[in-house]
Amino acid sequence: MRYECSYEYSFRQTHTPPEGVYTTWIDAQFAPEIAWEIMIHQHSHHEHHQAAKAETKDDAIKRLSYIEGHLAGVKKMIDEDRYCVDVLRQTFAVRRALQKLESQLIDGHLRTCVVDGVKEGREEQVLSELVELYEIADR
């Protein structure tokens, strides 16, 4: 027997999960009060991942907008035949902005997608993706 803890915050004893309902299954060895605490922790962990993904996305969009504007400025500098050293200083700044973006995306990926992948039993896929990223970055 297992307890179903649905996100409507109700309990019921059941043998089979209902279709299309996001639930957390807790073994019957736990008392309902303990199962409830576990479900709340898992639910808050899920909400934290969603919030982290949204925050990473918002930050990435802001950074990309900044980079787009900076690149437009570099293009204008080249159109205006500005001094090469001044242009290069700006291209270095764009490169640093891209590196910061990549760093933020990797951090978000490690804190959310990698954790979820390991919990879902996709360790090999997650590791191969990380190795691939490392190899691309090392080129």
Residue 4: pLDDT above 90?
Answer: no
Residue 60: pLDDT above 70?
Answer: yes
From CA 82, how far away is CA 62, in angstroms rounded?
A: 27
From CA 125, how far away is CA 134, in angstroms rounded?
A: 14
Q: Are 2 and 27 in contact (CB under 8 A)?
A: yes
**Tell me, what's the pLDDT at 98?**
95
Total length of the chain: 139
* 15-49 pLDDT per residue, tens: 444 444 444 444 444 455 554 454 454 455 567 67
**Tell me, what's the pLDDT at 44?**
53
Whether domain 2-137 has CATH 1.20.58.1000: the reply is yes
* 74-89 pLDDT per residue, tens: 999 999 999 999 999 9
Distance of CA 128 to the CA centre of its chain: 17
Query: Which structure tokens are listed for 102?
Result: 């990549």
**Residue ranges covered by each domain of the chain:** 2-137
Q: Are 24 and 42 in contact (CB under 8 A)?
A: yes
